[in-house]
Chains A and B, each alone.
Chain A
Amino acid sequence: MNKQVESPKDRVIRSQHVKLGTKNKKGQTYTDINKMFYETEMTPSFLTGSEVIRAAIKIASVGTSVAYPITPQSEAAALIGELFSEGYLDEYFRGESEFAVMGQCAGAAFGGHRVFTTTAGPGTLRAMENFPMWAGSRLPIQVCVTMRGINSPLTIQPDTLEAHYLLETGMLMWHAETAQDLFDFILKGFIVAEQPDVHLPIATMCDGFFVTHTKDTVLLPPDDICLTPYDPYRAPVPCMDMECPPVRMMRDPFVMKSNYISYATHASWQQEVRAAVERSRKHTIPLLDGLIDTENTDREILIVSSGTAVSQGREAIRLLEGEGIKVGLVKIKTIRPFPHEEIKEATKNAKHIFVPEFNMAGWLAREIKAVVPDNQRVVAGPQVGGGMTMPSEVIVEEIKKHLGMKVASISNRGS
């Protein structure tokens, strides 16, 4: 558990039931994920995050997508509808609420489809009951979570608090920093989530607006290739299509009260879901080139974060460099599985570990504090929430303040 895994030659074993090289009804050629990303010429495109989601789904061989409007994912969900009208998906419709949508996604996944949906903020919380059900039912559905504030008074601004609520649902959770990450994570996420020894739902998360509504240059493979489709008969649990013997096929542990077996089943199933999250590491590490990225981790000061807080951290490092303060960086790509060992190793030389976050709860700092030795080294901050941006200067200020240096504080301006 949590040990570094060597990159195998074939990064991931692809689904075998569709012959590679054959074409789908849209003329796209079924292509191995490794070939798609590592042997295909990529073309730069200047796109919004929502358009990037569309571009990924266009070549993802998705069966069903169910949509519901909520900012900031509405545009992406509608763009997927356009793909459906063009024949790239088998099924697409608007559900009546996020709770219902996640149920409809579950139904389609139980029926053997690859399923993709998007949600955000309050929608994620409204849907929440479904996520542990997805994991417990071993449904490899992908939900793209374009994170935003969840609190009252109403906010539609970026905030990563909803990720905190997803931590113990049993889903894989990957946090994209950029539009390029998001594109890669969506496609690679299907492949990892659908591996028979994983077979869990995956939340591909990005910071709303910062990623969804800004334009960025993204390298895309040609759209005349696509992923091999989901093969429901490689699943570790039976597909609910009555194509195999229908005996005791409830896909959740039995609810027989006062029955020791039911308690044992529940306990072992929870352990199994968590073990499956850990087993995803061996597929994820080669495909994402590790669960974390690091820069200059020999330095005494490190910024460790995920999502767009990493981008702000990079700029803060540049500013600090100008003042002669050298800072290293750890970018966390997967929140579940959490890269315990990798973070321990990357931070072993650090005296100060700063964790900038776009939420006031500081859930990532807590996760890091729980795994690194001498965790008084971890500074939970800076944190912004409720729709505030996090200028790089705020990170600079936090670091300098902590080091006992004088700061020209933004908040002190004019005083």
Chain B
Amino acid sequence: MSKEKITICEDLVDIMPPEYQELVATATYGKEGRGWKDIGSSKELIEQHSLCAGCPESIAFRYILASLPNPEDTVFVGSTGCTSLVFPHVAVQNIHSLFGNQNAIASGLKRALKCRFPDVEKDVVVLAGDGATVDIGLDMTMQSWFRQEKFTTICFDNELYANTGGQESGLMQKGFVAKMAPVGKKFDKVRLPEIAREAGCHYVAMLTVSKPNRVEKAIRNAVYVARELGPTYIQLYTPCILEIGKQSMEGLDEMKDAESIGGRFVMKEYITDEAKKLLDDIEAEEKAKKKAAKAKEPVSA
């Protein structure tokens, strides 16, 4: 990990915009133990965004970026929606092509990168809303899992089509009254985590973004498992405060309510035995590394 790819040659530094210079100065690329605590002090962890004030998706975006194990070699694939308004502010390469085809794009991308860089781990991460993942793109989402494509799919579940103004989506709760569901949604929230498990995902997690530690762990797990074993899926509750009638400061409370006992977003994980072993091994390795580093520290007087 290093800043090599973003560093400008000395002669040209002064003509670069100050934002870029600051990006190079504060980027966490190469920093040992980077994580969500770097948010706020690092340019590349989305210093500014163009979402609504207080939108939980903006903080989810930051947690995800801060949690990537290898941002210098990670490519995002997005889809149309609120997320596409944030991608121009993201300091990793990102592809937006169409609405719903994100897992098809990621399939071709991951395979081509694997062929071109056989000795470098190039992580591909899909980040799309629930309309793109579950409705219009469900075919391609699931087919990529069937094919055991080695990338992570993250769904920002806000339980509706936010960017187009709050229409019913497949992940919306049954009975919720919304645009295009004038008498309330007629069928249950699609159980995509269970579908993902049955479709071949090796690591599945559903949670809110109220607790950054949990999000960070889930993202890292998903990326590590996708590298070695196959598809992984994370569903994050990022309520659209605008469309469910909440105030800017109420997003966190909404997520906490939703993850409390009996709520729709009580955290759940499905991990295959193979993935569990892999994650245990990685954890043991990290612990051993930390222990060794601690042992090297000079003993204070």
Contacts and interface: CB of A to CB of B under 8 A. Distances in A.
A240 B75 contact: yes
Interface in B113-171: 113, 115-117, 122, 139-140, 143, 147
Given A100-B140, A113-B112, A240-B95, A107 B6 contact: no
A344 B8 CA distance: 52
Contacts of A254: 88
Contacts of B140: 96, 100, 103
A243 B113 CA distance: 11
Given A96-B143, A100-B143, A252-B97, A66 B5 contact: no
Interface string A93-136: 10111011101111111111101000000000000011001000
Given A95-B104, A104-B107, A252-B96, A246 B112 contact: no
A256 interface: yes
B6 A110 contact: no
A242 B104 contact: no
A5 interface: no
A349 to B, nearest CB: 47
A50 interface: no
Contacts of B80: 255
B108 A240 contact: no
B98 A111 contact: no
A390 to B, nearest CB: 37
A106 B97 contact: yes
A241 to B, nearest CB: 6
A241 B113 CA distance: 7
Contacts of B72: 242
Contacts of B104: 95, 99-101, 103-104, 106-107
A402 interface: no
B279 interface: no
Contacts of B235: none
Q: Interface of chain A, helix or strand or loop or mixed?
A: loop
Contacts of A115: 108
Contacts of A238: 93
A370 interface: no
A111 B147 contact: no
Given A246-B5, A246-B6, A110 B105 contact: yes
A247 B107 contact: no
A99 B110 CA distance: 18
Contacts, number: 142
Interface string A11-26: 0000000000000000
B38 interface: no
B174 interface: no
Interface in B79-100: 80, 84-85, 87-88, 90-98
Contacts of B106: 107
Nearest to B114: A91
Tell which of A90, A106, A242, A244 has the most Cβ of chain B within 10 Å.
A242
Interface residues of A, number: 45
A91 B112 contact: yes
B23 interface: yes
B5 A111 contact: no
B116 A246 contact: no
B114 to A, nearest CB: 8
Interface residues of B, number: 43
Interface in A233-260: 238, 240-252, 254-256
A64 interface: yes
A99 B143 CA distance: 13
A69 interface: no
Contacts of A109: 108, 112
Nearest to A97: B139
Contact of B122 (A107, A137, A242): A242
B84 A255 contact: yes
A133 B88 contact: no
A362 interface: no
Given A247-B91, A250-B87, A256-B50, A107 B98 contact: no
A130 B84 contact: no
B88 A246 contact: no
Given A106-B105, A107-B106, A113-B115, A242 B92 contact: yes
Nearest to A114: B112
Contact of B101 (A130, A243, A247): A130
Nearest to B23: A247
B92 A246 contact: yes
Given A100-B139, A247-B20, A108 B98 contact: no
A111 B23 CA distance: 25
A63 interface: yes
Given A93-B147, A242-B74, A250-B94, A111 B108 contact: yes
Nearest to B113: A111
A396 to B, nearest CB: 47
27 contacts: A66-B108, A91-B115, A96-B140, A99-B104, A100-B104, A103-B101, A104-B105, A105-B108, A106-B97, A108-B112, A109-B112, A112-B116, A113-B116, A115-B108, A137-B97, A238-B93, A240-B109, A241-B113, A241-B122, A242-B72, A243-B5, A246-B90, A247-B91, A250-B88, A254-B88, A255-B80, A256-B50
Interface of B: 5-6, 20, 23, 50, 72-75, 77, 80, 84-85, 87-88, 90-98, 101, 104-113, 115-117, 122, 139-140, 143, 147
Given A100-B140, A110-B95, A241-B113, 18 more contacts: A97-B139, A100-B104, A103-B101, A106-B108, A107-B112, A108-B112, A111-B111, A111-B113, A115-B108, A130-B101, A240-B93, A240-B95, A240-B109, A241-B93, A246-B91, A247-B23, A249-B93, A251-B96
